Copies of this chain bind each other. A is one copy, B any other.
Amino acid sequence: MDAIEKKFLKLGAEYAPGQEVRQHTDEMEWKYEKIPGTPVDFSHGDVDAFEPIPGSLDAFVDGVHTGGKQAYTEYRGSKDIRERLAQKVSAFTGAAIDAERNFIITPGTQGALFLAMGSTVARGDKVAIVESDYFANRKLVEFFDGEVVPIQMDYLGTDTSAGLDLTQLEEAFQAGVKLFLFSNPNNPTGVIYSQGEIHRIAALAQEYGASVIVDELYARLIFEEGAYTHLCAQNIVDPENVITIMGPSKTESLSGYRLGVAFGSAKIIDRMEKLQAIVSLRAGGYSQAVLKTWFSEPNGWMNKRIAQHQAIRDDIVAKLQSAEGFTVRATEAGSYLFPSIPELDISINEFVKVLRLQAAVTVTPGTEFGPQFQHSFRINFSQNHQAAVEAIDRVIQVVEAHRK
């Protein structure tokens, strides 16, 4: 087997959210009696239940009518839109952001992550990755021939922090880790890192001269006005060693437009633009115009969205907590839940397939977020409220049928 074949064997996407239709399940079809109910795809949010920001399509159409200037922006994105957004994101995070030097528009938050990692990870570099964390993080390190150094997070053992093992993080830096990548709120658990954790992460990065990439994709959907600390605004670590990533794909339901942003280190942003030039030139030109609606939503729109999600969360958490053998920590921000389930007579990947075939419910297996999560799954509860709650009943029913 050659080097490239080996690399791609590790890059599996069969169980990644959205790819379930490519799973081979024909031979399983006949085995399972269907449990009736409205199909729910918990692998991602439902933009039909929670629609895009009002006016987003109009902004796109305006972009098309602007013509060539909007179609062919700089690779780092339209100057006008960068200026507008840098100001808004700066106000939101509390960090100083220069639109010209410190800001890039990307094709989705995934695009921002890829560019940031491609601009910081060289062959053999050690990169600290939290377990559990977003499944692409480990894959990115592997694609760029880096070495994953896992950092444990005991999110079920506390409710005053994310439960990150800060001792292990310091040991990782001591062992030569030069980059720490993490999502805050954490994906898949929905927990927020405490101020103490963020300060310690920043202090360690500064002490060891390491870079930090913070994925803040869900930082606007915060329940019960929980405290949220933006690492980039703490003035603890050299700002030239920090990249923060955000985007309107989730809370704002703009995923279909493929938009994200990254801001921070001018040096890394420059590299990201050079890489963007050979990856896909730029975020879709007309789509960039849609960013005019971001952080400019109608009054009350975001508060309503938060309240609706909190109500769904509360109903689902109550159901899961009353089911035997389930453990779950309530989401603090974003729309993910990461329950652990009792031991089953089938693997977590089989469970996910059975659940989809039998109960028309799609969830993402825990093993996508760390190899040890063989008894967990992730759901994105940004769904039709009633359908989502009913689907959780079916999840519990399938777990019952396969309990060891």
CB within 8 Å of B: which residues of A? 2-4, 7-8, 11-13, 16, 18-19, 21-22, 44, 46-48, 52, 57, 60-61, 63-64, 67-68, 70-75, 79, 106-108, 110-111, 113-114, 119-123, 136, 139-140, 143, 145, 255-258, 270-271, 273-275, 277-287
Contacts and interface: CB of A to CB of B under 8 A. Distances in A.
B280 A122 contact: no
A48 B67 contact: yes
A369 to B, nearest CB: 15
A255 B63 CA distance: 13
A74 B107 contact: no
A281 B110 contact: yes
Contact of A68 (B47, B63, B122): B47
Nearest to A142: B278
A75 B258 contact: no
A20 to B, nearest CB: 9
B280 A257 contact: no
Nearest to A61: B57
Nearest to A13: B277
- Best-surrounded residue of A8, A75, A281 (most CB of chain B within 10 A): A281
B75 A13 contact: yes
Nearest to A7: B122
B284 A72 contact: no
Contacts of A13: 75, 273-274, 277
Interchain residue pairs A-B with the least CB separation, the first 7: A71-B256, A3-B122, A256-B285, A258-B284, A111-B280, A107-B280, A4-B122
A21 B273 CA distance: 14
Nearest to A14: B274
